[in-house]
């Protein structure tokens, strides 16, 4: 018999959703921290792509990667939304990220409508509280809590670590009782390539405006481990559909592609635990979003 003070261990899958630039990646990194490896060899119980695992004595949170939910304008958009819906119908808790420094918009409302069809409890996290005033945060907490029926509404600054531990505790309480799903700090390279590509794509989405995002795919062409210099060299391609989109990603004098590279590299170094040299190139792959062969080639 267990002693009365022993609380049962909880474990389960948590999906983070939110529009681009809502702070999902930063929050993921803050939750996962440095001690935890990204895992990819999955238990037979799941088909999810996994971003990271949070190990706590009282429970284990498995963070699930989802592409951003958006209004589909192509075959790719439909496929991605199907992936998200499949994922959301199959996780234990959903974290809906709404940034504190931007008014609630159509993108947030679109996601909120999709979440109404989901059975899992939703925790609304108002992110980026470090770049908003107290008044803004209070107003956003009100606005966000009206978007969906939330189990909890929590303001968080992932950058400063404010309320991250509180959020972890709330998420664990919402998970089912059960043993850990993954061993402590297990890492593999098998799924790393997809995660590296996603870091580049997310950085690009934060740096460019409306026209490019859904026309953008990223592939990792080469990963070269330089043991002599404790460095990983990564070569990635950013695929757009039209020549007119290339300058948007490159920026004047290459300023935007440099900024994308700097931001993605920080995430990669956290993921891989080593220094990274990142080489990015932009290429045009015409009308790939509606071409099944090109979609398959890009991993969709």
CATH number at residue 283: 3.30.300.20
In the chain, % of residues over pLDDT 90: 33
The overall pTM is greater than 0.75: no
pLDDT, one tens digit per residue, over 262-278 is 989 988 888 788 899 99
CA 167 to CA 146: how far, in whole Å?
20
CA 36 to CA 130: how far, in whole Å?
25
Count of structural domains, the chain = 2
User: Does residue 179 belong to any structural domain of this protein?
Assistant: no
- Residue 179 main-chain phi, psi, to 5 deg: -75, 165
Strand ranges across the sheet with 59-64: 50-56, 59-64, 10-17, 93-99, 122-127, 152-155
Judge whether residue 154 has pLDDT over 90: yes
- Residue 175 main-chain phi, psi, to 5 deg: -85, 155
User: What's the pLDDT score for residue 5?
Assistant: 59
Residues 17 and 145 grouped into a single domain = yes
Q: Are 162 and 139 in contact (CB under 8 A)?
A: no
Quick one: average pLDDT of 222-242? Answer: 87
Residues 278 and 236 grouped into a single domain = yes
Residues 98 and 212 grouped into a single domain = no
Structural domain for 292, as ranges: 192-297
Residues 110 and 232 grouped into a single domain = no
Residues 144 and 256 grouped into a single domain = no
- Residue 69 main-chain phi, psi, to 5 deg: -80, 130
Residues 116 and 74 grouped into a single domain = yes
What Cα–Cα distance (Å) separates residue 292 from each residue in 69, 86, 216, 240, 288?
A: 20, 20, 16, 16, 8
User: Does residue 82 belong to any structural domain of this protein?
Assistant: yes
Quick one: average pLDDT of 85-90? Answer: 79
Give 189's pLDDT tier (boundaries 50, 70, 90): very low
User: Does residue 102 belong to any structural domain of this protein?
Assistant: yes
Quick one: average pLDDT of 192-206? Answer: 82
CATH of the domain at 143: 3.40.50.300
**Which residue, of 124, 142, 174, is where some domain finishes?**
174
User: What's the pLDDT score for residue 39?
Assistant: 38
Quick one: average pLDDT of 219-235? Answer: 87
Residues 46 and 150 grouped into a single domain = yes
């Amino acid at each position: 018999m267990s002693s009365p003070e022993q609380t049962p261990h909880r474990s389960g899958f948590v999906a983070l959703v939110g529009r681009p630039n809502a702070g999902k990646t930063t929050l993921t990194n803050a939750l996962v921290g440095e001690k935890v490896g990204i895992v990819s060899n999955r238990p037979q119980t799941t088909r999810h792509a996994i971003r990271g695992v949070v190990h706590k004595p009282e429970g284990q949170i498995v963070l699930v990667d989802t592409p951003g939910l958006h209004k589909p304008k192509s075959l790719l958009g439909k496929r991605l939304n199907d992936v998200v819906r499949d994922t959301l119908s199959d996780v234990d808790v959903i974290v809906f990220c709404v940034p504190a420094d931007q008014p609630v918009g159509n993108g947030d409302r679109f996601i909120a409508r999709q979440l109404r069809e989901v059975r899992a409890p939703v925790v609304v996290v108002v992110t980026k509280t470090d770049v908003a005033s107290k008044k803004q945060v209070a107003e956003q907490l009100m606005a966000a809590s009206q978007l969906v029926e939330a189990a909890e509404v929590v303001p968080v600054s992932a950058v400063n670590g404010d309320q991250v531990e509180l959020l972890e505790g709330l998420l664990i309480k919402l998970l089912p009782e059960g043993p850990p799903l993954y061993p402590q700090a297990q890492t593999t390279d098998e799924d790393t390539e997809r995660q590296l590509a996603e870091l580049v794509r997310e950085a690009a989405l934060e740096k460019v405006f409306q026209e490019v995002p859904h026309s953008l795919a990223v592939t990792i062409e080469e990963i070269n481990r330089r043991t002599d210099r404790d460095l990983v060299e990564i070569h990635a391609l950013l695929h757009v559909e039209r020549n007119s989109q290339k300058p948007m990603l490159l920026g004047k004098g290459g300023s935007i592609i440099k900024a994308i590279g700097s931001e993605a590299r920080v995430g990669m170094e956290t993921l891989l635990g080593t220094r990274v040299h990142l080489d990015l190139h932009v290429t045009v792959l015409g009308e790939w979003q509606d071409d099944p062969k090109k979609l398959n080639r890009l991993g969709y």
